[in-house]
Amino acid sequence: MVLPDVAVSAPGKVLLAGGYLVLDRQYSGLVFALDARIHVHAKSLHTSGAELSEITVRSPQFQDAEWRYGYHLTEHDGGVAVTQLKGSSTSTLSPNIFIETALGYSLTYISAISDANIEPSSLTVLADKSYYSQSSSTPASDLHPPRFINFQTTLSKAHKTGLGSSAALVTAFIASVLAHYLPSSIFSPHTHASQNILHNLAQAAHCAAQGKVGSGFDVAAATYGSCVYTRFSPALLDGLGENGSAGFSERLKNLVHGEWDVQVLKQGVAVPRGLRLVMCDVDCGSQTVGMVKKVLAWRRDSPQEAKELWDELQTENDTLRAILSQLAIQEKATVGGLTEIEHWKALMEVLASIRKLIRKMSALSNVPIEPQSQTALLDACSTVPGVAGGVVPGAGGYDAVALLVADNEDVLKGLRGLLEDWEVSVDGTRDGENSGGVRVLDVREEMEGIRGEDADAAAYSGWIL
């Protein structure tokens, strides 16, 4: 049986509203998918007649980014175990926990639901250039730059822009493996039933790779696209165990096919015509995990204070979504019309209110969710004509800022001019290792999540072996 070549892509994300709140099922987050995507191309690996159980994964935009895995079915219904193989006698093993975990979970699920023959295959991972900061990439100089560029660095040294690369990678990777080995009647990224399977499997694999159970909004956006997200109960993953442990295959299948209490609402989530989301990359970054722990410690120590503040934030976040939805319904097609209606002023006010509450949480928890340098950056951006305002999205810190602006090239030109010599510093010094420039990313919102791609698309030419 000849297995098909397949290509699948998953979007990045921005949690525009609901940072920290999305960790609690009593609250929700407004998350937008982004048109920056991670693609995974899967094809059969020709072995010249040799009997091999090997899957090769390449990320050719980076130096020395190739992983070879052996795989075998374990005893006692433990699933499919994968083992990284050494590339050559002189190479060193550089593990990629996200790829290795996603592969093991995917193959285990396939073996649990079908008798599909898992033949050798080759998978290629390609990332849109907006996932990595300018300092770690080589921009194209022609008028029509390619979708994928060579980042001229190793993966470990590349500077991420905080668009959710690990979640998009795991989601796209699992989807490509399932679509390659399973018939479309069992799995297709275009059907809602398959997307539910993908979501549950990707959440489990991503949590295992991270070593913790996160909120999962990034995997939800990678799967379903822009949505209002209410997290699943972490207890769903209790008792799953590790891949290879006795009974893991059956437990994983039951988990993936089971009922999850996650809520993903797409109705009423929109960015109206004449408005767009803009991401500005700040090339110095934050330690998000440490920030989350400190905020949760403050919430635990001051529960009433935290509840009042989080309730206020939820109200403002709901107002933001309602205003965007109302603007979309009105369908104001021109920038001039958009800025003249009453909702434009309301949009500016609610973004300012959200920022005020985030700064209050920063002060109460002693965590730099919106640090002073980001306050100065957002304040300056908000003075550019056509910018309604913005926030430090997600967990905040120094990674990026997100803006809502009139969808007009003059506005983007004004922002680029403002940021040309702008510098953000973590420690207050300039030109140090803890400082970095700011640039407008070539990325915007989109509604769609996981997507099947043309495996023979010209964009993949030269990247697929």
Exposure pattern of 66-104 as b/e (b: 16+ CB <10 Å)? bbbbebeebeebbbbbbebeeeeeeeeeeebebbbbbbb
411-447 pLDDT per residue, tens: 999 999 999 989 887 655 444 455 678 999 999 999 9
Question: Residue 430: what pLDDT?
Answer: 46
348, with CB counted inside 10 A (0-12, 13-18, 19+), is middle
232-247 pLDDT per residue, tens: 999 999 999 999 999 9
Closest to 389 measured CA to CA, from 464, 316, 296, 286: 316
Q: What's the average model confidence in pLDDT over 273-283?
A: 90
Same domain, 289 and 258: no
Same domain, 216 and 362: no
Same domain, 217 and 318: no
Q: Please tell me the distance from the alpha carbon of residue 3 to that of residue 43, in angstroms, as a whole number.
A: 8
46-100 pLDDT per residue, tens: 766 556 789 999 999 999 999 999 999 999 999 999 999 986 544 557 899 999 9
Q: Which residue has the tokens 């990777």?
A: 173
Q: Which residue has the tokens 């800025």?
A: 339
Give the CATH number of the domain where residue 89 resides.
3.30.230.10
193-208 pLDDT per residue, tens: 999 999 999 999 999 9
Closest to 174 measured CA to CA, from 103, 112, 83, 73: 103
Same domain, 279 and 258: no
Q: Decide if 392 contacts 358 (C-beta within 8 A).
A: yes
Number of independent structural domains in the chain: 2
Same domain, 308 and 287: yes
* 114, two tokens: 């079908």
374-401 pLDDT per residue, tens: 999 999 999 999 999 999 999 999 888 9
List the domain range (segments joined by +) for residue 72.
6-266+456-460
Same domain, 139 and 279: no
Q: Which residue has the tokens 């690369």?
A: 165
Same domain, 149 and 177: yes
Does 398 map to a domain? yes
Helix (H) or strand (E) holding 83: strand 80-85
Same domain, 322 and 251: no
Question: Residue 50: what pLDDT?
Answer: 56
**Local structure of 362: helix, strand or coil:** helix
Q: What's the average model confidence in pLDDT over 126-147?
A: 69
Does 156 map to a domain? yes
pLDDT exceeds cutoff 80 at 331: no
pLDDT exceeds cutoff 70 at 165: yes
Q: Please tell me the distance from the alpha carbon of residue 440 to that of residue 434, in angstroms, as a whole number.
A: 20
Q: Starting at the earlier edge strand, list the strands of the sheet with 400-406.
A: 387-391, 400-406, 275-282, 435-440, 423-425
Same domain, 245 and 303: no
Does 208 map to a domain? yes
Q: Decide if 173 contacts 99 (C-beta within 8 A).
A: yes
Does 1 map to a domain? no
CA distances to 271, 281, 340 from 414, in Å: 21, 16, 20
Does 371 map to a domain? yes
Q: Please tell me the distance from the alpha carbon of residue 415 to that of residue 384, in angstroms, as a whole number.
A: 7
Helix axes 217-224, 165-181, angle to 10 degrees: 50
* 230, two tokens: 């209410």
Does 402 map to a domain? yes
Question: Residue 332: what pLDDT?
Answer: 46
Taking residue 430's Cβ as centre, other Cβ atoms within 10 Å add up to: 7
Does 318 map to a domain? yes
Question: Residue 334: what pLDDT?
Answer: 44
Same domain, 195 and 143: yes
For 164, phi and psi rounded to 5 degrees? 90, 45
Instruction: Give residue 268's pLDDT band: very low, low, confident or very high (50, 70, 90).
Output: confident
Does 451 map to a domain? no
Question: Residue 333: what pLDDT?
Answer: 42
Q: Decide if 140 contacts 146 (C-beta within 8 A).
A: yes
Q: What's the average model confidence in pLDDT over 339-366?
A: 90
Q: Please tell me the distance from the alpha carbon of residue 324 to that of residue 328, in angstroms, as a whole number.
A: 6
| Cross-strand pairs, 452 | 8
Largest CA distance in the chain: 70
Q: Any idea how long the chain is? A: 465
Instruction: Give residue 214's pLDDT band: very low, low, confident or very high (50, 70, 90).
Output: very high
Q: Please tell me the distance from the alpha carbon of residue 455 to that of residue 465, in angstroms, as a whole number.
A: 13
Same domain, 48 and 102: yes
Q: What's the average model confidence in pLDDT over 262-275?
A: 91
Give the CATH number of the domain where residue 284 resides.
3.30.70.890
Question: Residue 273: what pLDDT?
Answer: 85
For 400, phi and psi rounded to 5 degrees? -165, 165
pTM as predicted: 0.93
Same domain, 258 and 400: no
Share above pLDDT 70 across residues of the chain, in percent, rounded to a whole number: 89
Average pLDDT of the chain to the nearest whole number: 90
* 179, two tokens: 């679509």
**Local structure of 334: helix, strand or coil:** coil
Question: Residue 341: what pLDDT?
Answer: 63
